[in-house]
Structure 1
């Protein structure tokens, strides 16, 4: 009985990560992902290693930022377009616009993300606050 449980546990853990054991991602699927620069952990450098599942550009839109190691962050674009907030987890997200105004810098715990930013129209947001531009994150 213990051998059966020990054998099944790794398969269950892999299934929980959203992929089947041995499943490979095609090059077309990799190319279609919306990549975003991330720096995971203290002292790490930014690289375009993370990708977005969902719509990060719609106010109030929920999306997931996936890390290359299988970890992820569930996030939401603020309704007023002022930034991004974490939906779950213990760490809160802080957002700020880069000095040049082209990048929304988001920090959650020791992880940092760079989202391309675009100013919304006054009808959508305050013209001075950025919203993530998911189309530029490719």
Structure 2
């Protein structure tokens, strides 16, 4: 199974829940192809996002990874110049806002993807959920 380099630490999301309903859906070849395509796109620095309360995910955001004294920080860049910084945690919670200002909700979508919501923004990221 492919693990998005730089997001490998998100494997700790196992403690956040399971995706048993979605696992059955993921065996669909079309769904599996979509997941693979999003994963490859993320490898190039592009991720699907829905910003400002939008419901449709689009490949409009960029992801940057940087190591800091706190750990791995993911910067999600928006097409309008805005951004969100997320800190990958080592305590099993997955991600928190790097500045601590807003709560981050991490939802496993399948064994290979998570959805991250913060404020009115949502990001679909490849990760290994166990």
Gaps of 5+ in 2: 1-42
1:82 positional shift:
4.0
1:110 corresponds to which residue?
A: 120
Runs of 4+ in 1 over 4 A off after TM superposition: none
Q: Cα deviation per residue 1:13-52 (whole Å; 9 max; x = unaligned)?
A: xxxxxxxxxxxxxxxxxxx951111000123310111111
Equivalent of 1:77, from 76, 88, 100?
88
Quick check: 1:54 aligned with 2:65?
yes
Q: Does 1:38 align with 2:49?
A: yes
For residues 106-127 of structure 1, the C-alpha deviation after alignment (integer angstroms, 9 at most, x for no partner) is: 00011000000124xxxxxxxx
Any stretches of 5+ residues in structure 1 without a counterpart? 1-31, 120-127, 129-138
How many corresponding residue pairs?
Answer: 86
TM-score w.r.t. length of structure 2: 0.57
What is the RMSD computed on CA atoms of the aligned residues?
2.4
